[in-house]
Amino acid sequence: MAKKRKPNSKKVKPSRSEFKEFGPSEMPPVSGTRFWSSNALPIFILLFLSFAMYLSSLTFDYVLDDKIVLSENNFVKKGFSGIKDIFKTDSFVGYFGEQKKVLEGGRYRPLSLVTFAIEHQFYGLNKGYSHFINILLYALSGLLLFRVLFMLIPPLKTSRWFLSLPFIAALLFVIHPIHTEAVANIKGRDEILALLFSFSALYFSLKYVKTNNLFLLIGVCISLLLGILAKENALTWVVIIPMSLYFFRKVKLNQVLILGGALLVTVIIYFSIRINALGYVLSSGEESIDIMNNPFFGLEPGNRYATIFYTLGLYLKLLIFPHPLTHDYYPYQIPILGFGDWKALLAILVNLGLGIYALIGLRKKSIISYGILFYFITLSIVSNLFVNVGTTMNERFVYMPSVGICIVFAYFLARWLPAKLNEKADEINIISVGLLLFFVIGYIGKTVSRVPDWENALTLNAAAVKYSPNSARANCFMGVAIYEDYKLESDVAKKAVMLEDITYYIDRALEIYPGYGSALTMKSGILAEHYKKDFDINKLLAGFTTILRQRETTTFTNEYIEYLIKQKRSPNEVSQFLYNVGYTINFQGRQNYNAALYYLNYAYQVDPANRNIIQAIAQCYQKAGNQNKANEFLQKLN
């Protein structure tokens, strides 16, 4: 008689088939209504944390580019009537009044500006409402991430809800400190909208391949188009959506072709809209020579790409250990490196290693491979490897790519670690819980401490110069922020201290980048403020000379020179200064005859009997090809 087989008391490990559509160890798919009702607690946690961490931002001011896209954007301030102009022009035109080629490729991100215009129609310029909407959209993004991951990678049947991969990934995303710039800065709404609508496109894609309902393709196209109109990063989802289906669904060939066609049509529609607005697809063909808008200008290819790979290493570091955080990575906070530098080599090895690992796991449809590829693909468009984005790096650039890293972390905590430790089905993995708590407490603490930095220009730039001491822009902006308060201060003693602080930061900015136009303009203003106190005309003009050696003209310098001429202050010193700038610097040095004539004619106005000035003007007109004017001044010498 055969012996009865004893029930198997050993734990059942997570199935190796977890990478298929639905492995036997995974929960079956749930309907939308059932999902929201059965996950009320994790949904509440995600919502609560999103609002709790950022609630203080409701009282924050407009900072950085908020004035360009919102508070001082003339199209936005028209409300509904400005929406047409927003769609028809570069996103900076509403602020500058014309299409300026400030950044390579221009900036066409109308969707966030449209939301600002709608707000303005109903509430006017209301910072609190704008910040609230940012938080709300951020919270919705976290919920949608949770929902989509629940569809892509359902929790294991043995998983506790707080140790399920979808919840951990969504939780890490919501609390990640690197997102503070996108949420606490109103301008960051373009990042939030791009990800929100991109995930919406993926959601509708998953619904389509399940039901084969062609009507859902409309949702795919509209969502993706809105995502791209929010920010160009969403273009990468033309790859992310098919990749997601490859990893987590068995899709029929005709569905792939139909969905691919819908994505392609969406991209064509976007570029048609973009070309109509800007006049070109990706670039106007003109390269910026200002390193504040093109930090790689003039660099050898080796230095350029070594520096870029170094920043890619920094992104990974900040996504794991988000400290220190700063909004400013402008020259030269990120040093220019070569391929011989160990920091660049290490970054290359780490990124290359991750890429190779992801490709190896591609055939097995590894979740880790999916997360890594998600990270690299969404980062590609802002990595500077293919398109110059106008700055070396920015924390908001990894807002979308961070999802991939969160998925990898969640897989490690929810699946890899329990399997390695032979976790039993009815036990809670203490190590996974401990590590999760470590990250949750650390990330929330860092986020809560970082958010107040965005309160106003002064607090933001004070934080920036602390962690970006080698950025010319951070130092200049700190000087400008103090100067704004300086203008309002009435106490003489306090103004004197503030002026010294302003001088320090502007001088530091010019030490880092001597040709920095904004800092040179501020330096002119500082010199004028010192002159009001000591009336030392020689120190003032010596400072102006140093400025004009760097740049042939600055608006404030020229305006103050006109003021000195009208006030007839120290005419001998002023005329000699104008002669030196016009003749020595611009005529003999730069051979810029128009600039030379600008200053020499002012010198002549101050001292019309000075033969050196008259002769210099005549020479300039000769070089400029205007012999009649040259003769007119030569006659004055007789």
> What are 377-392's pLDDT values in tens digits?
999 999 999 988 889 9
Q: Which of 440, 539, 498 is closest to 169 using CA atoms? A: 440
Summarize the confidence of residues 115-136 as an average pLDDT.
96
Q: What is the dihedral sign for C-alpha 279, 283, 289, 290?
A: positive
Return the pLDDT at 3: 45
Higher-confidence residue of 473 and 7: namely 473
Higher-confidence residue of 98 and 258: namely 258
CATH class of 471-566: mainly alpha
- Asked if residue 564 lies in contact with residue 570, where contact means CB atoms within 8 angstroms, the answer is yes
Q: In the predicted model, is pLDDT for residue 451 greater than 90?
A: yes
Return the pLDDT at 24: 39
pLDDT tens track for 183-236: 999 999 999 999 999 999 999 999 999 999 999 999 999 999 999 999 999 999
Summarize the confidence of residues 147-176 as an average pLDDT.
92
pLDDT tens track for 261-272: 999 999 999 999
Helix (H, G, I), strand (E, B) or coil at 156: strand
Return the pLDDT at 102: 64
The rounded mean pLDDT for the chain is 90
Q: What percent of the chain lies above the pLDDT cut of 70?
A: 92
- DSSP category for residue 252: -
Helix (H, G, I), strand (E, B) or coil at 26: strand
Domain ranges of the chain: 471-566, 570-638
Return the pLDDT at 468: 96
Summarize the confidence of residues 525-530 as an average pLDDT.
93
Helix (H, G, I), strand (E, B) or coil at 290: coil
pTM equals 0.90
- Secondary-structure breakdown of the chain: helix, strand, coil percentages, each rounded to the nearest 5: 70, 0, 30
Range with lowest mean pLDDT among 231-235, 520-524, 630-634: 630-634
Superfamily holding 570-638? Tetratricopeptide repeat domain (1.25.40.10)
The strand pairing partners of 26, in sequence order, are: 156
- Asked if residue 263 lies in contact with residue 257, where contact means CB atoms within 8 angstroms, the answer is no
User: What letter represents residue 273's amino acid?
Assistant: I
**495 CB-contact burial (10 Å; exposed 0-12 / middle 13-18 / buried 19+):** middle
Return the pLDDT at 107: 82
Report the alpha-carbon distance of residue 628 to residue 352 in Å, rounded: 67
Higher-confidence residue of 199 and 421: namely 199
Return the pLDDT at 10: 46
Q: Which of 186, 255, 267, 183 is closest to 221 using CA atoms? A: 267
Q: In the predicted model, is pLDDT for residue 100 greater than 80?
A: no
Would 471-566 and 570-638 be classified into the same CATH topology?
yes
Summarize the confidence of residues 525-532 as an average pLDDT.
93
pLDDT tens track for 327-373: 999 999 999 999 999 999 999 999 999 999 999 999 999 999 999 99
Task: pLDDT band for 26, please (50, 70, 90 cuts).
Answer: low
Return the pLDDT at 1: 43
Return the pLDDT at 220: 97
Task: pLDDT band for 430, please (50, 70, 90 cuts).
Answer: confident
Q: Which of 377, 386, 401, 396 is closest to 305 using CA atoms? A: 386
Q: In the predicted model, is pLDDT for residue 94 greater than 60?
A: yes
Report the alpha-carbon distance of residue 329 to residue 471 in Å, rounded: 7
- Residues whose CB falls within 8 Å of the CB of residue 442, separated by 6 or more in sequence, listed in order: none
Report the alpha-carbon distance of residue 270 to residue 236 in Å, rounded: 13
Q: In the predicted model, is pLDDT for residue 413 greater than 90?
A: yes
pLDDT tens track for 584-625: 988 888 888 888 998 999 999 999 999 999 999 999 999 988
Q: In the predicted model, is pLDDT for residue 467 greater than 90?
A: yes
Q: In the predicted model, is pLDDT for residue 23 greater than 50?
A: no
Q: In the predicted model, is pLDDT for residue 4 greater than 50?
A: no
Q: What percent of the chain lies above the pLDDT cut of 90?
A: 73
Return the pLDDT at 427: 64
Q: In the predicted model, is pLDDT for residue 9 greater than 60?
A: no
- Asked if residue 145 lies in contact with residue 67, where contact means CB atoms within 8 angstroms, the answer is no
Using alpha carbons only, what angle is made at residue 123 by residues 120 and 129, rounded to the nearest 5 degrees?
95
- Asked if residue 461 lies in contact with residue 474, where contact means CB atoms within 8 angstroms, the answer is yes
Return the pLDDT at 124: 92
Which tokens is 417 given? 């670690």
The strand pairing partners of 156, in sequence order, are: 26
Where is mean pLDDT largest: 228-242, 411-425, 555-569? 228-242
Q: In the predicted model, is pLDDT for residue 112 greater than 50?
A: yes
The distance of Cα 381 from the centroid of its chain, to the nearest Å, equals: 12
Which tokens is 436 given? 């999760």
Q: In the predicted model, is pLDDT for residue 101 greater than 90?
A: no
Task: pLDDT band for 22, please (50, 70, 90 cuts).
Answer: very low
Angle between helices 110-123 and 216-230 (to 10 degrees): 90
User: What letter represents residue 253's amino acid?
Assistant: L
Report the alpha-carbon distance of residue 242 to residue 264 in Å, rounded: 12
Q: Which of 552, 564, 558 is closest to 517 using CA atoms? A: 552
Return the pLDDT at 284: 59
* Long-range contacts formed by 321-325: CB under 8 A, 24+ apart: 322/176, 322/177, 322/178, 322/443, 322/446, 323/177, 323/446, 324/466, 324/467, 325/177, 325/178, 325/180, 325/395, 325/446, 325/450, 325/467
Summarize the confidence of residues 476-488 as an average pLDDT.
94
Q: What is the dihedral sign for C-alpha 10, 13, 17, 21?
A: positive
Cβ atoms within 10 Å, residue 139: 20
User: What letter represents residue 595's amino acid?
Assistant: A
